[in-house]
Amino acid sequence: MSSSLPTSPAVPCREPAPKSPVPEVRRREPDRARPAGPDAGAAAAPRRAGAALVASLLGFSVITIDVSAVNIALPAIRESLRGGMAGQQWVVDAYTLMFAALMLSAGAIADRAGARRAYAWGVALFTLASLGCALAPGIGVLVAARVAQGGAAAVVLPASLALIRQAHEDSRERARAIALWTVGGSVAMAAGPVLGGLLTETAGWRAVFLLNLPVGAVILGLLVRVPRSPRRPAALDGMGQLTAVLALAGLAVAVIEGGHLGWTSLPVLGAAVLAVGSGFLFRAVESRHRQPMIPLALLRDRRVSVPLAVGFAVNAAFYGGIFLLGLYYQQLRGMSATTAGLMFVPMSAVVTATNLVSPRLAERFGRRSVIVVGQLVFTVAMLAMLPLAADTPVWLVLVLLLPLSMGGAVAVPALTALLIDAVPAERAGTVSGLLNSLRQLGGALAVALFGGLLAGAGGGFSLPGMRLGLLAVAALLLVTAALSRLLLARD
């Protein structure tokens, strides 16, 4: 009922009241007697938008922290659950690979279920899986819970952005909200190692996962204040998703276990066959599907395929480097978990600052130039870490890590913008999901590679293995930098 036409129950509607010589004084009814109108809805809109933004920011932050914080907790997990180097790799990669695989169809899931419902499901599953991680009695249960966490995180990421889009109709307000969301992720990445170190040293590694429980409860409480999201028809490519998961799982098993069981062992060969066979089957399924998860024609466009390859290589360098450094600080140098976490603070601060400068550099020098330079800086970062040893001065370690802080932060914003501009608007979500998936895959395979090479005799930290891995990633970055220079148009 509109509030512009109030009626009083004391005055019958059919007969007008007799006129009085005394001027009528209109009585104002108490506010509680007024029916809610458009003004009430307008006043509530900013509160709902604020609740949606805070909920989205918390969700994005917690799935980001879970990557960097767990890296610092790996030595403590190994000591507690006796998982060895392979166990440490699986604790990281089980999360990352499921995140990468399900990211391909997570956007469609969010559209079909509605952003708020999909986000609530994702957060609830992530919270329950975190409890499973914290209570894990052995490495196998922990890895299984990490798989569930990764699947939930894949739903949370796109649904969080969809919530922001739904809550902010004004483009300028939406841009500010997305900027806050992005900065929140950067701050979470920076805080993750420090938080992981403090929790591991003071309360044990299980506290790293228990932290997610109250955060999940707060997010679910905030979602009660967010309006329901509309559902939209979106095709799900079930067979394509299944074959993608099998291909990535087979590849991960082959790379991780190959470094421990031997490259010609039966389990490793079987995993390699599964990866290759599932990859071919995925291609066949996608080429015949009416609405494929990944339109293969897109991959034949160099403006799409080259940025995807660069995203893979850049994340391989960054997350492989983070994994390596977490073990280097604690296992080779004997640092405490807290000290190891604090060693990442300068690097994280430089990443955040460089992210803010990157768009301006792209405007001035062109996106292709920025993408190529970013990869070359990352190549220098891999080579700069070659001299690291147990007695390298701490100040020198921090200086040598500066290129690792800047390379990806320079390249990723430019390559993302280039990729989005290269496809029609209706394909933007598809290529964005594919880019994120390949970036996660690059990080996972780098962890697998470094883990296999780092395990020295008796389970110690192998410096020759570390250097071989750094050289391999540096070579990959040089290849993708050359492809970027030769195949991308100058802008």
Q: What are phi and psi of 349, to 5 degrees?
A: -65, -40
Above 60 in pLDDT, residue 39?
no
List pLDDT tens digits, range 110-120.
777 788 888 89
Neighbours of 16 (CB within 10 A): 8
Q: Output the average pLDDT for the chain.
A: 82
Query: Can you identify the CATH homologous superfamily of domain 46-225?
Result: MFS general substrate transporter like domains (1.20.1250.20)
Above 50 in pLDDT, residue 323?
yes
Domain with CATH 1.20.1250.20 in the chain: 46-225, 297-491
How are the residues of the chain apportioned to helix, strand and coil, as percentages rounded to the nearest 5? 80, 0, 20
Q: Which long-range contacts (CB under 8 A, 24 or more apart) does 168-171 make?
A: 168/49, 168/53
β-pair partners for 59 = none
Predicted confidence at residue 235, as pLDDT, reads 66
Structure tokens at 114: 């509605």
| Comparison of pLDDT for 181 and 196, the residue scoring more | 196
Cα–Cα distance between 108 and 84 in angstroms, integer? Answer: 38
| CA neighbor of 85 nearest in space, from 356, 421, 461 | 461
Q: How large is the average pLDDT for residues 424-446?
A: 80
Dihedral of CA atoms 469, 474, 475, 477 in degrees, nearest 10, equals: 130
| CA neighbor of 459 nearest in space, from 138, 72, 88 | 88
Predicted confidence at residue 36, as pLDDT, reads 46
Predicted confidence at residue 228, as pLDDT, reads 80
Confidence of residue 20 (pLDDT cuts 50, 70, 90): very low
| Comparison of pLDDT for 380 and 178, the residue scoring more | 380
What's the Cα-to-Cα distance from 56 to each of 122, 124, 165, 187, rounded to whole Å? Answer: 12, 14, 11, 14
Above 80 in pLDDT, residue 172?
no
Q: What are phi and psi of 288, to 5 degrees?
A: -110, -15
Query: Can you identify the CATH homologous superfamily of domain 297-491?
Result: MFS general substrate transporter like domains (1.20.1250.20)
Yes or no: say if 65 and 319 are a contact pair by the CB < 8 Å rule: no
Q: What are phi and psi of 37, to 5 degrees?
A: -130, -165
Structure tokens at 187: 């701050």
Yes or no: say if 440 and 308 are a contact pair by the CB < 8 Å rule: no
Above 50 in pLDDT, residue 379?
yes
Confidence of residue 481 (pLDDT cuts 50, 70, 90): very high
Predicted confidence at residue 31, as pLDDT, reads 42
Residue with tokens 């891999």: 382
Structure tokens at 316: 């391989």
Residue with tokens 């400068």: 357
List pLDDT tens digits, range 124-155.
999 999 999 999 999 999 999 999 999 999 88
Above 50 in pLDDT, residue 418?
yes
Specify the DSSP class assigned to residue 331: I
> Cβ contacts of residue 424 below 8 Å, gap of 6+?
none
Predicted confidence at residue 10, as pLDDT, reads 36
Structure tokens at 235: 């095709």
Which 3 state secondary structure label does DSSP give 461?
strand
Q: What are phi and psi of 461, to 5 degrees?
A: -90, 120
Q: What is the pTM of this model?
A: 0.78
DSSP 54-72: HHHHHHHHHHHHHHHHHHH
What's the Cα-to-Cα distance from 255 to each of 5, 252, 293, 378, 450, rounded to whole Å? Answer: 72, 5, 26, 23, 10
Predicted confidence at residue 424, as pLDDT, reads 78
Q: How large is the average pLDDT for residues 101-117?
A: 78
Yes or no: say if 313 and 168 are a contact pair by the CB < 8 Å rule: no
Yes or no: say if 184 and 60 are a contact pair by the CB < 8 Å rule: yes
Structure tokens at 339: 């000290």
Above 70 in pLDDT, residue 3?
no
